[in-house]
């Protein structure tokens, strides 16, 4: 089972490559508000969820694709780790 650090690193790399190309990785801290700041919009959330489901062989509940659960890297890591 991947550690929370591995999960976070994988997700961070994906977000940087797909949605923040060229961004300094240090700028994407655990608490950057991805959804409320518009880095993740409704389509990129779908992309991210599909990626995570495939990568970590897990599934998301309907209500989890929301600001309450996926706004920061920390939130996403916590959510994914809870499913492994």
Partner 1 sequence: MDFGWTKEQKELRSGIEELAKGELNEGLIERDVNSEFNRKGWMQCAEAGVHGLPIPVEYGGLGRDTMTTVGVLERLGYGCRDNGLVFSINAHMWTLSIPILHFGTDEQKKRWLPGLCDGSLIGGNAMSEPSSGSDAYSLTTSARRDGDSYVLNGNKTFVSNGSEADLALVYATSDPEKGPAGISAFIVEKGTPGFEATGHVEKMGNRTSPMADLFFDDCRVPAENRLSSEGDGVSLFTHSMTWERACILSSAVGAMDRLVEMSVRHAKTRKQFGQPIGKFQMIASRIVDMKLRVETARALLYKAAWLRDQGRSIFLESAMAKLHISESWIATAQDAMHIQGGQGYMRETEVERELRDALGSRIYSGTSEIQRVLIASMMGL
Chain centroid to CA 24: 17
Residue 83: CB minimum distance to partner 1, A: 10
Q: How many CA atoms lie within 13 A of 18 on its CB side?
A: 18
User: Cβ closer to partner 1: 1 or 43?
Assistant: 43
User: Cβ closer to partner 1: 5 or 33?
Assistant: 33
Q: How far apart are the first and last CA of the chain?
A: 7
User: Cβ closer to partner 1: 5 or 82?
Assistant: 82
Residue 30: CB minimum distance to partner 1, A: 20
């Amino acid at each position: 089972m991947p550690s929370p650090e591995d999960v976070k690193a994988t997700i961070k790399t994906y977000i940087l490559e797909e949605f923040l190309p060229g961004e300094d990785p240090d700028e994407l801290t655990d608490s950057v508000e991805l959804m409320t700041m518009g880095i993740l919009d409704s389509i990129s959330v779908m992309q991210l969820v599909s990626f995570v489901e495939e990568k970590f062989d897990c599934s998301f509940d309907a209500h989890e694709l929301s600001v309450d659960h996926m706004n920061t890297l920390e939130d996403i890591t916590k959510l994914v780790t809870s499913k492994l």
